[in-house]
Amino acid sequence: MSLDAASRAAIDAVKARTAAIAPSAFGRVAVLMGGTSAEREVSLDSGRNVLDALRARGVDAFAVDGIAALREQLAKSGVDRVFNILHGNRGGGEDGIVQGLLEAHGVPYTGPGVLGSALTMDKIRTKQVWMAEGLPTARFVRIAPGAELAAAVHALGLPVFVKPSTEGSSVGVFRIASETDLPSAIAFARTYPGELLAEQMITGGEYTVGILGGVALPSVRIVPPGDWYDYHAKYVSDDTQYHCPGLEGEDEAAIRALALAGFRAAGCSGWGRVDVMRHADGRFLLMEINTAPGMTSHSLVPKAARVLGLGFEDLCLAILAQTLEGPRA
């Protein structure tokens, strides 16, 4: 059986299992969105889409905006499970804090658990785990708070990206192609309280692979209208091109296998998205993991699922159905 045939069969099995579940089996479902992270607006957009999809399928779903509101709902004992679509950290839902809160209350939730969520929110530590496991990732230099950014960039060699270790959605990312690009990144680093990393710029192609249970979805090749896939290209522009599947044959099989290995090595389960770059020499390099990927009109996991015949509503139900599978490993 080919990889595509195997993936289609796996998705067909997911659809069959999900279709057999009565909406009432989910109970009261809190769709956790918004929050106070830098990715609040994207999360609200994702959350509204998920909420509409679940309600369209008869699920008793309701919106909860942020962690404080979730605590209030948990105190009322009015939550049977949570569809977590909070993005980011510091008030977002991808850093392990929400996961720990829900574990303490015994409430099932979507996405990876405490360990996988906390680890992958930190790009530096995720890369260190991948390196320890022998998985390929782009070269990088850690920049501690208050450290000299220019020295780290020069040690790595231009061109590079400079980014916070614990942000998402391209928040605080700087593309340094020449010395003239350095001042704005240096100014940001002087005020940013957390760790940064300078990362080798890879130019051979940008890809992402959605994970749904044990299935790596078809890769998506991202072709932004500008020099790189920034916030505008992700969430605003209609000119960004998405090719799915992004590769063919052995290359497609290789990128999916690498993404799934990277996801598991980082302690992740459930669903998520793994970003991968292709080096000019053909090698695939793991970049980062998103444990509560976007579910907006521009988002990539729904695009990949659709290629295998899993529409948006079916995808949301399949993700929610994972909360019925019992305790996490």
Give catalytic residues, as residue numbers.
39, 169, 235, 273, 275, 288, 290, 294
CB 29 within 8 A of CB 60: yes
Question: What's the CA gap between 125 and 112, in Å, rounded?
Answer: 16
Contacts of 328 (CB under 8 A, 6+ apart): 113, 269
**Any bridge partners for residue 16, and if so which?**
none
- The greatest distance separating any two alpha carbons of the chain, rounded to the nearest whole angstrom, comes to 59
Question: What's the CA gap between 107 and 204, in Å, rounded?
Answer: 43
For residue 154, CA distances in Å to 42, 181, 227, 302, 310 come to 34, 13, 21, 39, 46
CB 131 within 8 A of CB 137: yes
Cis status of the peptide bond prior to 327, with omega within 30 of 0: no
Contacts of 311 (CB under 8 A, 6+ apart): 305
How many CB atoms sit inside 10 A of residue 194's CB?
Answer: 15
Angle at 220 between CA 215 and CA 221, to 5 degrees: 150
Question: What's the CA gap between 111 and 257, in Å, rounded?
Answer: 20
